[in-house]
Amino acid sequence: MFTHLVGGISSAGRALPGRALTIARAAGPYLWDDEGRRYIDTALGFGGTVLGHAHPAVTAACERALRDGPLPAFAHRAEEAAAAALAARAGPLTRVAFTNSGSEAVHLACRVARAVTGRSRVAKMAAGYDGWYDEQALGNAGSAEARPFGNARPDNGRMVLLRHNDEADTEALFAERPDIAAVIVEPVLANAGCIPARAGYLEHLQETARRHGALLVADEVLMGFRLGPGLAAHRFGLDPDLATVGKAIGSGIAVAAVLGRPDVMAALEDGRAARAGTYSGNPLACAAVLATLSELERQDYPAFLERGEGVRGAVVAAFAAAGTQVSTTGFGSVFTVWPGPVPPADYAAALAAADPAFTARLHGAMRERGVLLMPFPFGRIYLSFAHGEADIAATAEALAASAQAMAGSAGA
């Protein structure tokens, strides 16, 4: 019983259906609960541990930083080193400002864009998740504002929505609003269920924004460094002015950053855009970034993604064998499972396909069999480099048994 912690959790995303679950420790691809039971983890800190939990190199680096003092208040050597390591993997985005969370990074990127352009509004995707701050939370997946809209475009004064995968709506937005400072886009609409961009959509979005004097911000807090040792936007042929990163760059340590072109990030140096943060770029965070990026350079991303594609195939095959059709969207390192044979191509289709009861039952069935999944309709299955062949096989076996159990209970 939790008496003092509100709701027994510190983030709404940790709420689980069924019996309470409290984690005692984590290592590699595994979590152990208070009763000592081990689980294969596919939530992975909501994608924040691409190397796996408590990676030895990251842990050792953080221990050294902790012993040397975690909060000196003044500049320290690791800040520039960590910034240089990120910049080396971000193409022309060679200037870095550290923050503590992805939400904070998006907030800062918006501030920079407004300062550079002199404009007030920022556009984001309906159902895109760009943080939980009041301004950026407009239109998050599952909200009333994110639902397909007509002429009454949702707008909270500082943020305005546009429809993902809809070129005509992009053109309409800029025809309606001459004050757009920037457009924020996830290269994949990850928090709405890993919905991919249609061919040509991202290029059109970038070209239209530039034509109207707006900046393009790639929100890579979730997808960055998951498809390769760099930004997903660059892999998809984009050339953003700013990017926000987090999660995977710190292997479970709280750290995020804004990356940008020198001419854009100059707004943070000349005072046009204010920034602060007692813990921003602290030694522990910078140590985690340096160790993580060094380890990611040594990883075999193609093999990693191939293993994940095997799990995607196992999901579909398991349910097909049980007489049920499901589909997936995403990539081998992060994907979403949908009831039904046709994966959604936009948020309207995702909203129609979302089935909370199905997702909760799948979570419960897999949990009984030693695998932890996010229990939400737009949730993702994440894999890490620590998930070996035995873990993949055990997950596939659990999927097969869970699909049969779910089919049996549905027919009872």
Of 227, 372, 394, 405, the closest CA to residue 314 belongs to 394
Q: How many Cβ atoms sit within 10 Å of the Cβ of residue 303?
A: 11
Clarify whether residues 28 and 150 are in a common domain. no
Residue 6's pLDDT band, with cuts at 50, 70 and 90, is confident
DSSP symbols for 329-368: EEETTEEEEEESSS--SSHHHHHHH--HHHHHHHHHHHHH
CB 350 within 8 A of CB 192: yes
- The angle formed by the CA atoms of residues 98, 123 and 245, to the nearest 5 degrees, is 25
If asked whether residues 204 and 284 sit together in one domain, one would say yes
**Cα radius of gyration rounded to whole Å, the chain:** 21
Tens digits of residue pLDDT in 295-332: 999 999 999 999 999 999 999 999 999 999 999 999 99
Of 297, 312, 330, the residue that ends a domain is 297
Confidence check: pLDDT of 343 > 60: yes
Are 88 and 26 part of one and the same domain?
Answer: no
Q: What is the CATH number of the domain that holds 101?
A: 3.40.640.10
Chosen domain end from 297, 323, 356: 297
> pLDDT, tens digit, for every residue of 270-285?
999 999 999 999 999 9
Report yes or no on 167 lying in a domain. yes
- How many other C-beta atoms are found inside a 10 Å radius of the C-beta of residue 114? 21
Phi, psi for residue 12 in degrees, rounded to 5: -60, -25
Helix or strand run (H / E) with residue 116: helix 102-117
How many Cβ atoms sit within 10 Å of the Cβ of residue 177? 18
**Are residues 74 and 199 located together in one domain of the fold?**
yes
- Rounded to whole angstroms, how far apart are CA atoms 3 and 412? 39
- φ, ψ for residue 162 (rounded to 5)? -135, 160
pLDDT in tens, 352-373: 999 999 999 999 999 999 999 9
Q: How far is CA 172 from CA 129, 149, 162, 164, 401, in A?
A: 22, 13, 9, 13, 49
Same domain, 190 and 63: yes
pLDDT tens profile 86-99: 999 999 999 999 99
Domain count of the fold of the chain: 2
Confidence of residue 18 (pLDDT cuts 50, 70, 90): confident
Residues 85 and 119 in one domain: yes
Q: Is residue 1 part of a domain?
A: no
Per-residue pLDDT tens digits for 204-243: 999 999 999 999 999 999 999 999 999 999 999 999 999 9
Are residues 345 and 386 both part of a single domain? yes
Which range marks the domain in which residue 103 is found?
A: 56-297
Angle (CA) 236-240-243 rounded to 5° is 100
In the DSSP assignment, the letter for residue 122 is E
Domain-located, residue 346: yes
47 falls within a domain:
yes
Could you tell me if residue 24 is inside a domain? Answer: yes
In this prediction, residue 11 carries a pLDDT of 74
User: Is 87 within a domain?
Assistant: yes
**What integer is the mean pLDDT of 390-396?**
96
pLDDT over threshold 90, residue 38 = yes
Q: Are 182 and 40 within one domain? A: no
- Tokens coding 181: 């400072």
347 within domain boundaries: yes
Average pLDDT value over all residues in the chain: 94
How many other C-beta atoms lie within 10 A of the C-beta of residue 357?
Answer: 9
Return the axis-axis angle of helices 201-211 and 167-176, rounded to nearest 10°: 10
Give the type of residue at 370.
G
CA distance 281 to 296: 20
Residue positions annotated with a catalytic role: 129, 219, 247
Task: Give the pLDDT mean for 339-361.
Answer: 95
The domain boundary residue, chosen from 280, 297, 314? 297
382 in a structural domain? yes
Q: What is the pLDDT of residue 211?
A: 98
Please answer whether residues 204 and 173 qualify as being in contact, where contact means their C-beta atoms are separated by less than 8 angstroms: no
How big is the CA angle at 279 (ends 274 and 282), to the nearest 5 degrees? 110
Specify whether 176 is located in the same domain as 84: yes
CATH of residue 304's domain is: 3.90.1150.10
pLDDT-derived band of residue 410, with 50, 70 and 90 as boundaries?
low
Quote the pTM value: 0.94
Confidence of residue 1 (pLDDT cuts 50, 70, 90): low
Domain match, 274 and 144 both: yes
State residue 13's pLDDT score.
72
160 with 193, same domain: the answer is: yes
Examine the domain organization and report whether 286 and 308 are in the same domain: no
First-to-last CA distance in the chain? 34
